[in-house]
Homo-oligomer: A and B are copies of this chain.
Amino acid sequence: MSTGLWLIGARGSVATTAVLGLAALARGHSGAEGCITAGWAGLPDWDEIVVGGHDVSHVSLTKRAETLVDAGMIPAALLAATRDDLELADAEVRPGYASLPSGRSQQQEAERLAADILDFRERHGLTRVVVIDLSSTEPPVDTTDFSVEALTEPDRVVLPPSSVAAWAALLAQSPYACFTPSTGMAPLLELARESGVPVAGQDGKTGQTWLRTVLAPAFTDRGLRVLSWAGANLLGGGDGATLADPEAVRSKLASKTRGLRDLTGSDVTPLHIDNVPDLGDIKVAWDHVHVQGFLGSRITLQTTWSAYDSMLAAPMVLDLTRLLALADAAGLAGVVPELGFFFKNPWGSEVHGAAEQAGALRAWAERTAAEQAGVLRTSAERTAAGL
């Protein structure tokens, strides 16, 4: 099934890695490590996915990829082998929405963005376009005034930029995933259900938080009591600079600690995020877990995690693209809670433990793909459904 992938923040580090990686997979230049759906049935193939997106940056995907090569993150040979694909994708990037131009309403802007998506779908003859928001973390916003009517008033700012982009996805009938920790999404989830569009979120669970949600349930399974879970988080790159802003980071940190609190029932020492520019895109995370064992005895576990953050996020973006395409083909509307595996703050679910999430996701994907395969018996039916 020919599927579009429309990236909000299409020229950022994660998006660049995802686009380059998709091309490398489609052309057989690389294994699919990091993609959990690699061998799964009933999903679009790598070479059936076409990429476009919105961004406010004018630095092309190719230029961005070159800086990632210089930083030692991407092998030079892989960029050489996928340069044409990056240029094709970059030609499909349209100006994003950052702030409201004078005299315009947010509804008008959302319609402009939706038109870009629909035009992309039409020109490429795509069955559907999955929209994934990879834009930078925003400060928390108050969206209590939100209504669809309020959006139509000129010069009135009701939603943060990430929510405007999400609203545009709904207007374009596009499945949508929110990979950022932005807080303005709550009012849109019900609208997604009404629009018949499957959505998933929120805030990609890529590294340290994922590791925490692997370990915390394991302690519980052993009957051990977590007393504290303290940590530090070092990163450079653009993300490091954004998150050095204490206001912007508030929603991120809330997301990072929420699951752990739920899982351990204990107070988690607030985590620090430090901007260490010389680390570039590598994220280094240290955790110190203090656990009470038998007869009050002391157990400690330390973990140090080191990885290129974009390399963790990019394959999850590709997985989400394929899985939301399946959800859409199956006619699901609103939040898909089984996609909570991918997120720090899983919409529609109270489950944070990584093993439990992984099991639920796998079961859902197998069942849904099997149902689709069963329902659509004839080739003609499949074609009609875009599978």
Task: Tell me the A residues contacting B by CB distance below 8 Å.
Answer: 17, 20-21, 24, 30-38, 72-76, 78, 210-211, 214-215, 217-218, 221-225, 227-228, 230-232, 234, 269-270, 272, 274-279, 284, 286, 288, 290, 292-308, 311-312, 314-315, 353-356, 358
Q: What are the residues of chain B within 8 A of A231 when measuring CB–CB? A: 232
- B225 near A33 (CB under 8 angstroms)? yes
Q: What are the residues of chain B within 8 A of A234 when measuring CB–CB? A: 228, 230, 269, 288
- Kindly list 5 other residue pairs between chains A and B, CB separation below 8 angstroms, not including A293-B315, A299-B312, A302-B303: A33-B295, A34-B294, A211-B218, A231-B232, A304-B304
| Shortest CB distance A329–B (Å) | 22
Pairs across A and B, CB under 8 Å, 7 listed: A20-B295, A33-B223, A36-B221, A210-B218, A221-B358, A230-B234, A230-B276
- B17 near A295 (CB under 8 angstroms)? yes
- A355 near B221 (CB under 8 angstroms)? yes
Chain B residue with Cβ nearest A39: B223
Instruction: Point out the residue from B210, B217, B311, B355 that lies within 8 Å of A293, measured CB to CB.
Output: B311
Q: Given that A33-B223, A276-B290 are known contacts, is A296 also in contact with B214, CB under 8 Å in the complex?
A: no
Q: What are the residues of chain B within 8 A of A290 when measuring CB–CB? A: 276, 278-279
Q: Given that A288-B234, A288-B286 are known contacts, is A227 also in contact with B278, CB under 8 Å in the complex?
A: yes
CA distance A210 to B218 in the complex (A): 9
- B293 near A34 (CB under 8 angstroms)? yes
| Shortest CB distance A83–B (Å) | 15
Q: Name, among A297, A303, A305, A306, the residue most crowded by chain B CB atoms within 10 Å (CB to CB).
A: A297
Q: Given that A33-B223, A223-B315, A311-B297 are known contacts, is A228 also in contact with B276, CB under 8 Å in the complex?
A: yes
Copy number of this protein in the oligomer? Answer: 4
Q: What are the residues of chain B within 8 A of A358 when measuring CB–CB? A: 218, 221
CA distance A70 to B11 in the complex (A): 27
Q: Given that A222-B210, A223-B38 are known contacts, is A295 also in contact with B74, CB under 8 Å in the complex?
A: yes
Instruction: Point out the residue from B38, B75, B278, B304 that lies within 8 Å of A302, measured CB to CB.
Output: B304
Chain B residue with Cβ nearest A281: B297
- A295 near B35 (CB under 8 angstroms)? no
Q: What are the residues of chain B within 8 A of A279 when measuring CB–CB? A: 228, 290
- A30 near B222 (CB under 8 angstroms)? no
Chain B residue with Cβ nearest A276: B228
Q: Given that A215-B214, A300-B306 are known contacts, is A272 also in contact with B232, CB under 8 Å in the complex?
A: yes
Chain B residue with Cβ nearest A76: B76
Q: Name, among A38, A223, A275, A299, the residue most crowded by chain B CB atoms within 10 Å (CB to CB).
A: A223
Chain B residue with Cβ nearest A78: B295
Q: What are the residues of chain B within 8 A of A17 when measuring CB–CB? A: 294-295
Instruction: Point out the residue from B222, B315, B354 that lies within 8 Å of A221, measured CB to CB.
Output: B354
